[in-house]
């Protein structure tokens, strides 16, 4: 799930009497507190919960047992009730982690079993308050001929540190499931196991990395683009009136940017969040990160009282690059 932090409305050019846009942006960021984003690879997640935390979710549709698998498993068990045979040792959890494992290195995906597992297969985080936002600061000076020169101060921006964890290779005990043995017509309480093989773990990690890359792409086409436009148009801009010189400076920045960005730092911030939200409305809402769990006949063992599910392949993971997806 993605729920974005507050988005500021796009404002027009401020007149000299209006509050400074950079100061308003700083005050707004301060009052909002940490604007943290969370990406979760989900099993059974719902995409209708919104708060100030940005989230993106890949969901698991259902635990599926392949057609005919139970009948075949029952025949393999010889038709004897499950409680008449000694169960085999159960696998142990492949990755033992705690909440601290949810914090990895900036911009990377590390192995870890996130809270909410097995519903949540991966978790990525970022914080809007940790971005460095570019400014648009003007300096105007009256010239000997009574005209005005306006210059634009240099500015900087910086991408926020991001991190993610993804469920690694392992077999995980995830609860109980009752399955009727068709040969005995008795319900058997089975241990429910999730097997994450190398291919599945690779896809989960790739899905998390896609979200981190999406956020970086959102930064690149908004805040970084604004920084570059400001620094490329330092001026000076000369006009008979101060207001005209300042307008020329702003117009130069505006002309160097996508029309949706304009020359207002508050718009740049708003568009960062709008662009980053595309990772949720596409990769998650379109089920590009949806994983199903399936058990085949050989995965159902009435003797051991276990049913083992495997993470299905999702060919959509890795199919669309961040550059192709995250656009203004």
Closest CA to 300 of 61, 44, 62, 68: 68
Measuring CA to CA, which residue among 108, 57, 125, 54 is closest to residue 273? 54
Structure-model confidence comparison of residues 286 and 138, the more confident one: 138
pLDDT interval class at 312 (50, 70, 90): very high
Q: Which structural domain range is residue 118 located in?
A: 21-325
At 319, the pLDDT band (50, 70, 90 cuts) reads very high
Which residue in 207, 167, 187, 5 sits closest to 81, CA to CA?
187
The residues near 92 (Cβ < 8 Å, ≥ 6 apart) are: 171, 173
What is the total count of domains within the chain? 1
In a domain, 1, yes or no: no
Q: For residue 11, is it within any domain?
A: no
Q: What percent of the chain has pLDDT over 90?
A: 56
Asked whether residue 254 is domain-assigned, the answer is yes
pTM for the model: 0.76
- When pLDDT is averaged across residues 232-256 and rounded to a whole number, the result is 97
- The answer, yes or no, to whether residue 295 has pLDDT greater than 60, is yes
Query: What's the sign of the alpha-carbon dihedral 78, 84, 85, 87?
Result: positive
Within-domain flag for 118: yes
Q: Could you give phi then psi for residue 140, rounded to 5 degrees? A: -120, 140
Asked if pLDDT for residue 4 goes beyond 80, the answer is no
CB 54 within 8 A of CB 277: yes
Is 4 part of a structural domain of the chain? no
The residue that leads in pLDDT, 125 or 308, is 308
* Per-residue pLDDT tens over the stretch 169-221: 999 999 999 999 999 999 999 999 999 999 999 999 999 999 999 999 999 99
Q: Which residue has the higher pLDDT, 152 or 280?
A: 152
């Amino acid at each position: 799930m993605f729920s974005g932090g507050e988005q500021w409305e796009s404002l027009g050019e401020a007149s000299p009497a209006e509050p400074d846009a950079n100061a308003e942006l700083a005050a707004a960021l301060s009052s909002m507190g940490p604007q943290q984003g969370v990406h979760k690879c989900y099993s059974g997640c719902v995409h209708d919960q919104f708060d100030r935390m940005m989230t993106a979710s890949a969901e698991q549709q259902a635990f599926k047992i392949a057609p005919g698998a139970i009948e075949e498993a029952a025949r393999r068990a010889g038709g004897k009730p499950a409680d008449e045979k000694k169960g085999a040792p159960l696998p142990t959890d492949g990755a033992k982690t705690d909440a601290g494992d949810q914090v990895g290195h900036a911009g990377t995906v590390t192995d870890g079993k996130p809270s909410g597992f097995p519903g949540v297969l991966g978790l990525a985080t970022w914080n809007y308050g940790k971005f460095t936002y570019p400014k648009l600061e003007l300096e105007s000076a009256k010239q000997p001929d009574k005209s005005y020169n306006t210059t634009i101060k240099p500015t900087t921006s910086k991408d926020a540190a991001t991190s993610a964890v993804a469920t690694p290779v392992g077999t995980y005990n995830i609860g109980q499931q009752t399955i009727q043995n068709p040969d005995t017509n008795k319900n058997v309480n089975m241990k429910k196991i999730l097997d994450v093989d190398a291919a599945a773990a690779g896809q989960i990690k790739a899905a998390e990395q896609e979200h981190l890359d999406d956020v970086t792409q959102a930064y690149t086409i908004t805040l970084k683009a604004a920084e570059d436009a400001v620094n490329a148009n330092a001026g000076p801009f000369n006009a008979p009136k101060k207001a005209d010189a300042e307008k020329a400076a702003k117009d130069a920045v505006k002309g160097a940017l996508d029309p949706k960005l304009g020359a207002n730092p508050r718009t740049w911030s708003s568009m960062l969040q709008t662009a980053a939200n595309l990772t949720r409305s596409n990769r998650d809402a379109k089920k590009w990160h949806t994983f199903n769990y399936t058990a085949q006949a050989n995965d159902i063992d009435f003797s051991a009282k276990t049913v083992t599910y495997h993470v299905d392949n999702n060919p959509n993971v890795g199919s669309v690059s961040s550059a192709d997806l995250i656009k203004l």
